Amino acid sequence: MPGHRSKSEKHDGDKQLRRDPYEVLGVSRSSTDQEIKTAYRKMALKYHPDKNANDPKAADMFKEVTFSYNILSDPDKRRQYDSAGFEAVESDNQELELDLSSLGAVNTMFAALFSKLGVPIKTTVSATVLEEALNGVVTIRPLPLGQFISKRVEKQCAHFYSVTITEEEARAGFVCRVHSSDKSKFKLLYFDQEENGGLSLALQEDSAKTGKVTSAGMYFLGFPVYRLDHTMNSIAAAKDPDTSFFRKLDGFQPCELTELKAGTHVFAVYGDNFFKSANYTIEALCAAPFSEEKDNLRNIEAQILSKRAEISKFEAEYREVLAQFTEMTSRYAHEMQAIDELLKQRNEIHASYTNAPLKRSTSKNRSKSSSKEAKEDGQAKEKRSTRDRPKKKKWYNLHLRVDKRKAC
């Protein structure tokens, strides 16, 4: 009878059975981030559990696709995998994206609770919404350039909008922004239009708290614009408080698209709250009147990139000095203990210079004397309290004043 395998053996076996992430997603090692993201979304939609109920092979394939994308979508993990394979990637710390529409009520409550506690939970767009968009059966509302629309979208649902821009507007730059004054969670989505009339998800931006609102935006200004992923390296940061500082700008990555061509483009606002609908305001703007803002954005992002490089160098210096400080504090405690021990031995030697016997009281005598003293103190306190206590008058000792001048 074959013996049971240990957990470590099973884990090693799973590692050997893993396929190359590039092979799983059907992309080459030179593929761009956008090509990898497009391949992942198509395969995730194909093998999603909502579309393949009671199909264990599809469920396993969906997990494999998600695992592969989690490696290739992270620049650091992709670089580590390319250089050293799976061994360089911490598979136990992979962050999975949750489809809230496929979770039960209990699991959704747990996810909402963890989110309230500050645990970053990455969510994905519902497979139903993506499938309806791919089949071209969604309602698309026109969004006039320069105007805003305020709506309420139900959780795990989406409102689609079309924006038409000219050649001149495309050259000047284009911005689509969404904000929520009641701090609702949402996603801003951008779709590519397929030849069959369907829509495939190309870009997605999660809302983030900015002051008194939550907001998300896509900026197509003709030059690289960066986005900040707040959930990147969140698990590593939780393990080491210093890491949360040194990894703060790791999620500062360039957006996949820098400009849009003239024509009609489709955006969507997806409700990403756990239980309630999301209020939002969406607007599309031509960047021509915002030339100063464009220059300021380019300059400030260049400074952020420079600061990220500085922080990377500073981390090595900080870790070295911190190690020296830890060593010095440890030596300080050791030296202090050694000095105290030497002084104690010195005092004992001084005390040994005597011929007089030392009178030592036993513990039994000490306990008796201490209890006797405590008893005497208690009796003395009791006497003082009774002596100082004023005498209470009896109820019949009434002091009656009688006016002798008046007759009774």
pLDDT of residue 113: 47
| CA distance linking residue 94 with residue 232, whole number of Å | 10
pLDDT tens, per residue, the chain with 408 residues? 444 444 444 444 444 467 888 998 999 988 888 788 888 888 887 887 767 777 888 878 888 888 888 788 777 778 878 877 776 665 444 444 555 455 445 444 544 444 444 445 567 788 888 888 988 899 999 999 999 999 999 988 999 999 999 999 999 999 999 999 998 989 999 999 888 888 988 888 989 888 899 999 999 999 999 988 766 555 555 567 777 788 888 878 888 788 999 999 999 999 987 678 999 999 999 999 999 999 999 999 999 999 999 998 998 899 899 899 989 999 999 999 999 999 999 999 988 888 777 665 555 555 556 666 666 666 666 656 555 555 555 555 555 555 555 554
| pLDDT at residue 9, as a whole number | 45
pLDDT confidence of residue 392:
55
Q: Contact 158/131 with Cβ under 8 angstroms?
A: no
pLDDT at 382: 61
Res 155: pLDDT: 87
- The confidence score (pLDDT) of residue 134 equals 86
Does pTM surpass 0.85? no
